[in-house]
Amino acid sequence: MSLWRDFLTHDGKNAGKWTHYFNAYDRHFGSWRDRSLTFLEIGTAQGGSLELWRGFFGPKAKVVSIDIMPQCKALEEPGAFVRIGDQSDTNFLQSIIDEFGVPDVILDDGSHQQHHILETFKFFYPKMHKNAVYMVEDLHTSYWSEYNGGLKKPDTFMEFTKECLDKLNARHTRGAVEEDYIAKETISISVYDSIVCFEKGDLWWVEPLNTALLKYNTPA
């Protein structure tokens, strides 16, 4: 069953989502269903998405949500944990790792303030394991001044993403782009209307291979 069908039949707490987000969720999160993982959603709101994610990922998952509003703690349920704190407070973020481990999948639907999104990403992403997924949604706010955004304005998450596209190909730039943690650990950056998704992975396959040498070193 897709998350879209789950959403349409959901009769619990309110969950507000743009309809075109669901294809991205299924594409990037679908392979994690019914697996042991830690999922972190930044932004609890009314708790509806917390219910959806708990049902989507299944009983093996630890579903964790963080929010700055103290009343969100009351939305906690068995299998779905809520912790109260500021997403730009690295001490608080470290406490999440200390309690639940490094998340395998992160969805940032928090304050939408551009500096908060960047600070949270730069804290978590380098620590995440191979094959981890980091998605940020509602990135139309990168263009809105009330969220410290603006078209081509530096220090928005969209401008950061554009820089990361070059880093994804840093090894081909002949030294023009530094091979930092984005270049060395990221296998894809997917960009949608209002969504960006980073996926980590094993980059062994990007190295050129001599087929004769490969055959020689491959066990029969």
Task: Decide: residue 70, CB within 10 A, 0-12 exposed, 13-18 middle, 19+ buried.
Answer: exposed
Which one is catalytic: 10, 20, 112, 115? 112
Q: How many CA atoms lie within 13 A of 70 on its CB side?
A: 0
- What is the pLDDT at residue 203? 61
Task: Decide: residue 119, CB within 10 A, 0-12 exposed, 13-18 middle, 19+ buried.
Answer: middle
pLDDT tens column, 140-150 = 999 999 999 99
pLDDT tens column, 85-138 = 999 999 999 999 999 999 999 999 999 999 999 999 999 999 999 999 999 999
Q: List the domain range (segments joined by +) for residue 135.
A: 3-217
Which helix (DSSP H) or strand (DSSP E) does residue 215 occupy?
helix 211-217
Residue 112 appears among annotated catalytic residues: yes
Give the distance, in angstroms, between the CA of residue 71 and the centroid of all CA atoms in the same chain: 24
* CATH label of the domain that carries residue 163: 3.40.50.150
Tokens of 166: 């070059």
Q: How confident is the model at residue 51 (pLDDT cuts 50, 70, 90)?
A: confident
Write b or e for each residue in 72-83: b if 16 or more Cβ atoms lie within 10 A of its Cβ, otherwise e. beebbeeebbbb
Q: How many CB atoms lie within 10 A of CB 94?
A: 12
Q: Does the model's pTM come out above 0.85?
A: yes
Long-range contacts of 214-218 (CB under 8 A, 24+ apart): none
- How many structural domains comprise the chain? 1
